[in-house]
Each structure stands twice: as C-alpha cells, then as structure tokens.
A and B are shown apart, each in its own frame.
Chain A
C-alpha cells in the first residue's frame, strides 16, 4: 500500500505555529494593519511568524533592552531582512542597489551570511516597506528567505571549471524558483501588487512545511557550502566539463538545544544518485515526504533529520520511492578536500579573474581599521559603470561569509586593487589560515536567541588562540574554529574542528573533533567555560598537536586519534 499521505491540519495536536500558518490566508496575516499601527515599532505576535516567510525577522537591540525599560520606552524594535540569492550571485549593478538601500535604511551595513546572501539589520518598521521595495528594484527579492519553506539554495563558486559551475549555478536557481511559495502576499504587501483572491500552494499546501528547509549543491573537491549541514545536499558529479548528475544527501542540520538529547546536530546521509533532469522531481519529492511525515506537534523535533531518524534512512528511502514512483541509482564516488574559502585572485579557464576577500564575520561596514562598505560600493560603481555584455563583474557571496568579486576582466584588476588598498580591505594574505577559516554567527545585539556574544567577540579570542598556535609553531596549520551565540548552530559550529557554542554571557561549551572536510560533526568536550578556562584547556592540546601530529593530519582527526573525544558517526552519537 502506498506510503503517500497528504498532511491534514489537526488543531488539537498541532502546534500554535501551524494554526497561524493555516489562518494566515496564505501568509498575509494582519501584516498590513501591523505596519500601519504607529504606537509601536513592533508587529502583531502572529505576524512575527508570518513575516519570516517574507524574508524578515522582528528583532530588537538587546544592548538597549534594560536601559529602555527604565526609560519607559518599548524595546528598540527593528527588522532584519534577508535576501533570496540563489548561489549568492549578484551583478555589480545589483550590488550597488542593495548597498544603497543599506545606506538609506540600514545604517550603511550589510551582513554576508553563512548561506550566501545579504542581510540588512536595524530596519525600523516605518522603513520596512521602502526597504523591501528598494531591494526588489535590484530584481532581488526576499521571498522565503526565512520561514517554514525552502530557503536560499546554496551552490559553491568553483572557478577552475567555470562551465560546470555555471551549470550548477543554474540548477541552484531552478530549484529555488521551483520551490518558491506560490502566494501573492509578498507582492500585495510590499510591492503594492494588486490583490489576488485565491492562491493555491500546489507544493506546500496551507500548512507549508513543519520547519525550515535547506538545500545546497557542492562541486567536489570543495565543500565550502557545508553540504552535510543541509536538509538536502546535491553533490555535482562531473563528466569532463559537463554535469553528469547529483549524489543526493539528506537529513543534515546543526540545530540543537543545550542538555536536550532529543535534539542534535546531524551530518547528512547519502541516499543515491540522480540525473540533472531528475533533480527537480527528486528534491520536490523529498520535501513532500518531510511535509507529510515531519513532526508538526513538537517544533524542535520537526526538522527533516528527525523525520529520517524516525523512519531510519532505509525506511525514508522506501517512502521516497513511493512519492517518486521510482528509485534513485546508487551514489557515485567523489571526494572533498576542505570546506573553507580560498582567498586572493584566481583565474578561471575563460580568462576571467575572481577575487575572494576576507571579511570578518561577513560584516560589510566601515570601521576605523577598514572602510569595507565604502570600498565595495566604489568597486561596484566601477564595474557597473562599464557594462560590456551585461556581466562585467559580479559580487558573489561565499558560503563562509566572504565576498568574491568575480568575472573581472584583466583591465579592471589594478583599479580594484587600488580601491582595496585605499580602504584597507583584506584579501586574506596576511591573516593566519585559522583566522581565515573562522566563522562566527551574528548573535548580539540583534539576534533574539543569542545567549552569548559571537561575531563581536571571536576576533579577540582568536588573537589569544593565535598566540598559542604561534608559540607551538603551528600557526600555518588551518584549524576550523567556529563560534555561535547559542546551540542553533548558525555558523555551523558542530562542523568546526573547534566549536564554541554560547551558554551564557562569557560562557561557552567547547566542542572538538569535526573533520576538516565537514563530513563529521564534533562532540562536546568541556561545558560552560569562560575565556580563561578555554585557553587553559586548549593550550596542552595544541602543544601535543604540534609534537605528535601525523603528516597532513587535521586537528579534528588528531583529537579523536588522541582520544580527547570520540568520533560522532551519526546524530545519535552526538550525546553518547
């Protein structure tokens, strides 16, 4: 008997969020009224859930919360907007517009994310509509950048084989478009599109997905997209210069809660191979299985990874076969080298140049040290100015919060270098490999869920760790260090050879032992440590790493071989 069983909303059993979605008239909610109300900078509670589907979150400046309560003022509410940018690619022309929007409404700051897109922070409610409209003027939108739908589809920039990459990038766009919600709400609310009475959601239905859903495409040997952290990972298998098809991985995810063994980060499991033309059907079917089998009663257990472990991987494959009507072929061989970015200039076989910049925590903002925002805008002006055949220079977001200025002609190289000079923007030639690989999530002051600092604190901790690495002569060995302000794992900390996960202000859990290629998550090593304890704990480990490291052995593999922690092979081992 078929395992296909469409979702039926059950108000008794399902969470409140499910009710909000069902009653939102396809993601309209009461957003219009919420935007009008002048008495508060916030929007209605239910709308706070709905607006995520439009690519925005309500936040408040957590640095000011206590102070403002005393001042008899409400929290300083503002909104984060996240662009939907498949493969992270924007033309210089588009970047210009996006940056101008940030100038006008977003404190002249853009935030590159760990999923290859831009975020605007601190947009006040009265500017929200203008901002979103402004973004759309660049022909970029923010639909489904957040919410219980498929998110921004990642695809890694691999320039050595730019033909293959172009193909892969096209797929990331196709998948993103294919899985977009169908509702017209976004256009009605933000772009004054005229009202469309009946909306159908052929793929999602009224209840959309039980939880967020993430897809990435990787092209070996490069795993910079952290394919194993995604609900669906597609690994491009090349046939010479062309694309042969994709290996399919499912059930990756980072999110977990402290001391809750029901939740855990999980590296995705490989379930087979499909041809390019089958890709859309495959991802849609996997998504539909999650739609119908995913847990709608307990949100924290609603991600695909838990659905899969509930059914077992084999069980899931059977269900999928029923949804597809056919079965995947066996997976093809491939191998990854690392999951970081390569900095500096690269020339691709079509003679174009690509420059990966080092941007700490992806924060594009002017500071005393470097005027990143101004500098990049100048470069965009330069490239957008001279438009031969449309794509004379692109701005690409790397999956690790960096920016790649790509498809640059020989002629523009030096002028770009000059601008970088003048504005003191790094191309990653002076930083240690460890710093270049380091990731930190946003956390304070905007993130509502942060328990500790991340983006604002990691640099100072790195200074001290670098001293230690220097001391033991291992400063040139790349070690993946990742820090997040809470266990949700936005900077994929569980895939860090060293992971710091915030517990309380100044206190972190210390994780060790992820692989350097990003296919094995790490394990809890020490709990609730402050800086002093962290450094004291790491020092002897670095010392012995320096002495006893096998050649080319990564730090993550070393700590396991030395028995500091045991390897985590599947989600359930994480707490074991």
Chain B
C-alpha cells in the first residue's frame, strides 16, 4: 500500500477509542490506581519500542483460564487468534501473533476460521483476526462458512452476540484488486454490528505486508496484554502482587525476515526453454517454460508457486511518457528515493493491471466523462482488456511526472503454479502459462509477466524469480488417493504432483480431470500424460474438450458423469484438488462436487455442505485458483 495508507493504519488516529474511554470512566478507584501504573510501564515500553513489554511488571491472566472453558467468569475467556487464509500468508502472521502472546503466557488459542462457529466466537475475550481476500473480493476457502454466517441477516439481527468481546483485524490484500481487503473489512464490520469493541484500529496491508503486519502484532499484543491485565484486575488485585511468572520471556522476532529469495530479493535464474505447447490453430497461446535454478539452492514442493519479477516493456513505458508529453529523464520521488521517470515506470510501476484507486486518483486530476462512467459502472468489464495506458488515451490528462508516480500502484510479481517436481528436475522449475494479449480500440495490450516470459525473453537469458510456498496446496502427507481437477493451465501443479508420485513410487491411486478447447491442439502435456496412463501411474483420466462437440463439455460435467466413482474415491479417503480459473471453473466444480455428495451420499444440501467443510478441515479439499 502507499505510504499515505500506511501511516493512517498505524497508531495515528485518536489515542483511545470511545469504548475504552467509556470503560475507564467506569473504573473503580483501585482499578484506576492500577491502571496509572500500568500506563507508566506501557509508556516506557513504547518509548524504548522493544518488541515485548516486561511482563513481570504486568499482571498475567489466570494460566488455567484458557483450558477451563466452562468457567463462566470473563477472566476465564481466552484470547482467540483467528485466521482466514488461502495460501498461508495470513496463517503465518496469525501464528506469529499466537507465539508472541503465548510466550507471554496469555491464555490464547489459534484457530482456522474453518474450525469455529459464530456462537463459539462469544466464548473469547478477544478475537484477533488475520484475514486475506481472494477471488473478486471473496473470502478465502477456509473462511467461506464463517463469513456467510457472520454476514447473514439472521445472525446480525442478534445485535449483542459479541458484546463482551473485543476484536482486532489485520487484512491482507492487494490494492490492485477492486475490493481491497474486502474480507477483513466485512469481518470487522460484522464484529462491530454484533456489539464487539475494536481493540485496535483495523489495519489493511497491501502485497508487501511483512513490515506493517509486524507493527500490527506489536500494537495488538500490547493492547491484549492491557486488556487481559485490566480484566483480571477487575476480578482480583491479589494476582497482581503474586505474579512473578515468565520473566523476560524470549519471544520470537516478530518481523521475521525471510532470508530466502523473495520479491525484493529475487534469484536471477536462466530460462532454459520457452516452448509453445498448443498446436497450430489453437485458440490459446499456452507455453511450457523451463527455468534453470542451479546453484540457487532454492527448494520447492509440488503445489508451491513461482514468483516472477518482470519489468515493463520499453515500448509501453515510452508510449506513456510521450502520451503525457513528459520527459523520461526527469527525476521523481518514490518511496523516499529519487529515480528518473523512465526508471520508475520500468521497474516500479504497475502499468498493466488497473486498480480502481488509480482511476479515481486520475479522475481527481483530470475530469473525464467517459472515464467517470467506467469508474462508476464499467470497471470490471473494462479491465478485462484495458491497461493504464488506455486510461490516458481516454482521459488525455495533463499531469506532472510526480503526479503520475503518486497515482500509480507499485508493480507486483506474478505467481505461477510450479509444474515440476525437484525429485525429477532437481535444478529446474517448470511453468505452464498462457501468453496474455488482448486488443482494445487503443491498441494491443500484453500481460506483464506472461509476455516477458514467453515473448521478450529468449532461451539462455536471465529471469528474476522467487518461490512462493503454499502450504495449503500439497499432496497428502499420508498415502491417499488424489483426484486432480486441472483444466487449462490448471494442469500445471498436477504435472508436478504426478512427477512427485512417480518418483516416490507411491502406490496410491491418481485421477486427473483435464479440459481445454480442442483435443487436436490443446491437450497439454499429452505425450507425458499418455505415458503416465500406460505406466499405470494415472489410474483414471477424464478429458473435457469443450469445443469438439456440439454441446460444450467441461470438467464439472466429467465429474458428474463419474459421480459414482468420485463418491467411492472420496469415501476411500481421496484428496480432491482444483487448480485453474477461479471466475467460473472453480465455482462450477465445487457445485458439481456438492451435487455428487448430495446424490451419491444421500445427504441433503446442508449435510453435503458439512461434508465438504469436513473435507476442507482435513485438507482433503484444496484449491489453487486464480
């Protein structure tokens, strides 16, 4: 997020929220007396700004409270660290917070939003939620049920359900999406509506969240400590003096700096192979890319993604500069460094994905009826084939170089599901990607990373990469059958899965369901898949070539055709994986799956949902959709 947003979401704003002020006013003399001491301690802590306040000076919550959930008194209510996470970022922050609070022997529990109902939320003194957003502003898979419940009229009518609960929310998101951190925002809103009090102001992080997340952890842990202290104070001042536990507990460093490669410190690898793998006449431009990672000691697991750090095309950069009649050599300020405009646009600016915020900012600088309409109604349709430069064609603004810098978002890496296993290709990473190119009245537009990887780079040249681990998309830890639904480029991680299963000569069953427009041109990795079938590694293969027959057939239809077997496999403990398009495919597949569970498992809709939820909880339903 931009510097401005960042500051706002920090300790700025008003010192104490009304809720807390109100509470303070109602404190007893004894309590106020204690509080003054506490505040003094807190003050030192903050001025020194060390990560952990010396808990010895602070009362600790009743150690047994957390475990003894039956106890009715508020002090018995533990703190809940809750996460809603798709690819594990939110989870890892939640875990850091948990470790941190635990280290201070605060009664705290860590839960995935899968593992809790709205009612159970009321059993906690505080809910500390870390939530990411996926899809088009949708909750991550593990949070769908809780989210629906919390936003349902039925629940919200119970106005005071959480009246005794405090909460803090950290949103992880990406401001280039229309609905930035929507899930976190909605959760926060529901908590408030249900009468919960905001412990600290919600913070919404953009793609580079590490630093601000660390601050949030500090901020929250202090507030929680205070809260717990305050609560226990209200019930017994005795515990204050007798407290002597965990002195100087060494807690894990919060802003845990990732030493391995990341988007700010990518590895310069070499592209070994760039091969189009859709045949002549195909409607798709799908490529197989092999990247050499020798001597990087990068290690990845099937299911992980590879981040590509790409620079904007020179022609695009130059067009933008000349459209705005600016000088590429003028220097501009960006994140308190000084760069030439050209340098900034090439390496730091997101030019191919248009965020709604950027349109808004541009409109503020230059009124444009046409652009206003797009902003008001046509955005989601517009972005499917337009980029930032098109905004300039439409609005024809006169702005300064610095204004340009201020309205643009920071460029972000693109992720690609890794299509290889290191058991088979120790020193390589393989990708399967579509070259994105779209036309609009103003010209032909290319995708940043896909164009870079497939068109501008040539074999032997360098590419900046890092591994984005995804603990939530992994082969079963135990031996179990797997059903893999991966149409189009969604087949990528399953190629890795199959290589892994082959290498570790697993004896478990594998079922691949693949789809694409045409058999003749779009059967990705056909030769490899044929080998896996004849070798027996692939026990079942279903193909949906949508445009080869009168009525379109998609993967979900293949699932329904095979309903009986899908159910058998599930009952045998099969893991169900989905990868690829999130806009339609992933939704349709989930619907098909629910239908199968209902019909084959003779369950009503509700029971089927429960069954699916259980699958999620046991990591037997995993998705990698984009």
Residues of A within 8 A of B (CB): 38-41, 64, 67-74, 76, 124, 126
Contact = CB atoms under 8 A, between A and B. Distances in A.
Most buried by A among B520, B541, B543: B520
The 9 lowest CB-CB distance pairs between A and B, nearest first, are A71-B277, A72-B527, A73-B526, A38-B543, A72-B525, A72-B277, A74-B526, A73-B279, A39-B530
A68 B527 CA distance: 10
B288 interface: yes
B606 interface: no
A155 to B, nearest CB: 39
A131 to B, nearest CB: 15
A254 to B, nearest CB: 34
Interface in B540-565: 541, 543, 548
Nearest to A77: B520
12 contacts: A39-B526, A39-B529, A40-B530, A64-B279, A64-B280, A69-B527, A71-B278, A72-B277, A72-B526, A73-B277, A74-B527, A76-B520
A4 B278 CA distance: 59
A63 to B, nearest CB: 10
A237 to B, nearest CB: 53
Contacts of B519: 38, 41, 124, 126
B275 interface: yes
Given A41-B519, A126-B548, A71 B529 contact: no
A208 B524 CA distance: 42
Contacts of A69: 527
A445 B28 CA distance: 95
B325 interface: no
B257 to A, nearest CB: 40
A64 B521 CA distance: 12
B535 to A, nearest CB: 13
Contacts of A74: 526-527, 530
B492 to A, nearest CB: 13
B432 to A, nearest CB: 10
Contacts of B529: 39
A39 B543 contact: yes
B523 A70 contact: no
B279 A76 contact: yes
B533 interface: yes
A69 B288 CA distance: 13
Given A39-B529, A39-B533, A40-B530, A73 B548 contact: no
B275 A73 contact: no
Interface string B275-287: 1111110000000
Nearest to B549: A126
B305 to A, nearest CB: 22
A29 B275 CA distance: 38
A72 B278 CA distance: 9
Contacts of B288: 72
Contacts of B280: 64, 67
A124 B520 contact: yes
A38 B288 CA distance: 23
Contacts of B533: 39
Contacts of A124: 519-520
B528 interface: yes
Contact of A72 (B521, B528, B543): B528
Given A39-B543, A71-B276, A76-B279, 13 more contacts: A39-B533, A71-B277, A71-B279, A72-B275, A72-B277, A72-B288, A72-B524, A72-B526, A72-B528, A73-B279, A73-B521, A76-B520, A126-B548
A38 B526 CA distance: 11
Contacts of A68: 279
A507 B574 CA distance: 59
Contacts of B279: 64, 67-68, 71, 73, 76
B184 to A, nearest CB: 42
A428 to B, nearest CB: 35
B326 to A, nearest CB: 43
A69 B276 CA distance: 11
A73 B275 CA distance: 12
A117 B522 CA distance: 35
A39 B540 CA distance: 11
B275 A71 contact: yes
Nearest to A37: B533
A124 B543 CA distance: 17
Nearest to A64: B280
A39 B543 CA distance: 8
Contacts of A67: 279-280
Contacts of B277: 71-73
Contacts of A72: 275, 277, 288, 524-528
A555 to B, nearest CB: 43
A177 B530 CA distance: 42
A126 B547 CA distance: 13
Nearest to A126: B548
Contacts of B548: 126
B527 A73 contact: yes
A409 to B, nearest CB: 41
B418 to A, nearest CB: 17
A126 B550 CA distance: 13
Contacts of B524: 72
B498 to A, nearest CB: 14
Contacts of A73: 277, 279, 521, 523, 526-527
A124 B278 CA distance: 18
A76 B529 CA distance: 16
A168 B533 CA distance: 55
A72 to B, nearest CB: 5
A38 B513 CA distance: 13
A70 B275 contact: yes
A67 B278 CA distance: 11
B551 to A, nearest CB: 14
A71 B282 CA distance: 12
Nearest to B538: A39
Contacts of A38: 519, 543
A43 to B, nearest CB: 14
Contacts of B528: 72
Interface in B249-286: 275-280
A412 B460 CA distance: 67
Most buried by A among B276, B519, B529, B533: B519
A126 B526 CA distance: 17
Contacts of A71: 275-279
Nearest to B542: A38
Most buried by B among A39, A41, A68, A124: A39
Contacts of B543: 38-39
A108 to B, nearest CB: 15
Interface in B120-154: none
Contacts of B527: 69, 72-74
A72 B529 CA distance: 10
Nearest to A61: B280
A76 B288 CA distance: 19
Most buried by A among B275, B279, B525, B548: B279
A72 B521 CA distance: 11
Contacts of B541: 39
A41 B530 contact: no
B294 to A, nearest CB: 23
B27 to A, nearest CB: 72
Interface in B479-536: 519-521, 523-530, 533
Nearest to A71: B277
A41 B526 CA distance: 11
A71 B273 CA distance: 12
B520 A41 contact: yes
Contacts of B275: 70-72
A40 B534 CA distance: 12
Contacts of B525: 72
A41 B525 CA distance: 14
Contacts of B520: 41, 76, 124
Contacts of A41: 519-520
A67 B524 CA distance: 14
Nearest to B523: A73
